Structure 1
Amino acid sequence: MEKGFVVQLSPELFKVKTEIESELLNGNKTNEKLYSLILKAIEFLKEKRTGLPISKKLPIYNYYSEKYGITNLFMIKLTKGSRGFYTNVSGGQMKILQIILEVEEEHKNYEKKGHY
Structure 2
Amino acid sequence: MTEIQLSQEFSKEFATLQKRAEKGEGEAEYLLKLVGKGITKLVESREAGQKIQKRLWPKYYVQKYGISNLWRLRLDDYWRMIYTLLNGKIRIVAVILDVIDHKEYNKRFGYK
Which TM-score band applies after superposition, normalised by the shorter structure? 0.7 to 0.9
Please provide the CA RMSD for this pair. 1.8
Q: 2:54 matched to which residue of 1?
A: 56
Q: Look at both structures and tell me which one has the larger radius of gyration over its CA atoms.
A: 1
Does 1:115 find its partner at 2:105? no
Q: 1:89 matched to which residue of 2?
A: 86
Q: Distance in 2 between matches of 1:101 and 1:74?
A: 10
Are the aligned partners of 2:21 and 2:32 in contact in 1 as well (CA < 8 Å)? no
Q: 1:67 matched to which residue of 2?
A: 64
Does 1:16 find its partner at 2:13? yes
Which is helix-richer, 1 or 2? 2
Normalized against structure 2, the TM-score is what?
Answer: 0.84
Q: Distance in 2 between matches of 1:86 and 1:26?
A: 28
Q: Distance in 2 between matches of 1:87 and 1:81?
A: 20
Q: Segments of 4+ in structure 1 off by > 4 A?
A: none
- Structure 2: gaps of 5 or more residues: none
Does 1:37 find its partner at 2:34? yes
Residue 23 of structure 1, CA deviation: 2.3
Residue 38 of structure 1, CA deviation: 1.7
Normalized against structure 1, the TM-score is what?
Answer: 0.81
Q: Which amino acid aligns with 1:52?
A: Q
Q: Distance in 1 between matches of 2:99 and 2:62?
A: 16
Residue 94 of structure 1, CA deviation: 0.7
What count of residue pairs does the alignment treat as equivalent?
110
Q: Which amino acid aligns with 1:79?
A: D
SS in 1 for 2:85: strand
Residue 86 of structure 1, CA deviation: 0.5
- Structure 1: gaps of 5 or more residues: none
